Amino acid sequence: MSDHTIVQCTHERHADAILAILNDAIVNSTALYDYKPRDAQSMVTWFNTKRAGNFPVIGVEDAQGTLLAFGSYGTFRAFPAFKYTVEHSVYVHKDHRGKGLGRVIMEAIANAARENGVHALMGAIDATNAGSIALHERLGYRHVGTLPEVGFKFGRWLDLAFYQLLLETPLNPVDG
């Protein structure tokens, strides 16, 4: 797993690859609680939202420039007092899972969060996703709650587990 580069993803360079990774997760897993694959236009909105919120989109490319994994974070809840809390998402291409790429992305996301004065990183994980839960726990996240049967996909109820990593930032938080 040493022949890779961490990059800041852009719509122009990475939208198609991100869309393919997301759509695979939608169709084949409970990593996303969506039902239908997204279209190319959705990536315009997605990247615009990330840009407007100053939210990073971090990727890992191989030596040929192929996107293998990506992650980002965004608004946790849309109330002012949550301004120091974000919810992250990490996705690894189906052919590259189990190679440590999720860890690379999550560490880069945490570093970006510190640089941006984030205090709490939240991960919302399908409770049956043992691999993602184990990774979060190895990186110091702790389980802070599970919402039973809040999703329904593939003919069954899904429980959503929340994992949290508290950061030492911001140094001087303020109200308002």
- Taking residues 131-137, what's their average pLDDT? 96
Cβ neighbour number for residue 55 with a 10 Å cutoff? 19
Cβ neighbour number for residue 134 with a 10 Å cutoff? 10
Q: Does 172 fall in a domain?
A: no
Distance CA 155, CA 47 (A): 31
- Taking residues 155-163, what's their average pLDDT? 98
Q: What is the pLDDT of residue 2?
A: 62
Q: Does 122 fall in a domain?
A: yes
Domain count, the chain: 1
Q: What is the pLDDT of residue 164?
A: 98
Q: Does 78 fall in a domain?
A: yes
Confidence class of residue 25 from pLDDT cuts 50, 70 and 90?
very high
Q: What is the CATH number of the domain that holds 125?
A: 3.40.630.30
Q: Does 175 fall in a domain?
A: no
Q: Residues 65-78: pLDDT tens digits? A: 999 999 999 999 99
Domain residues for the domain of 120 are 4-166
Mean pLDDT of the chain: 96
Q: Could you tell me the CA-to-CA distances from 127 to 59, 67, 166, 167 in Å, in that order?
A: 25, 27, 21, 24
Distance CA 32, CA 89 (A): 10
Q: Does 56 fall in a domain?
A: yes
Phi, psi of 166, deg, nearest 5: -90, 130
* Residue 1, pLDDT above cutoff 60: no
Q: Does 62 fall in a domain?
A: yes
Q: Does 100 fall in a domain?
A: yes
Q: In a 3-state reduction of DSSP, which class is residue 118?
A: coil
Q: Does 173 fall in a domain?
A: no
* Residue 3, pLDDT above cutoff 90: no
What the block records as the tokens of 104 is 């690379």
Distance CA 164, CA 86 (A): 10
Contact indicator for 160, 147 with CB cutoff of 8 Å: yes
pTM (2 decimals)?
A: 0.93
Q: What is the pLDDT of residue 58?
A: 98
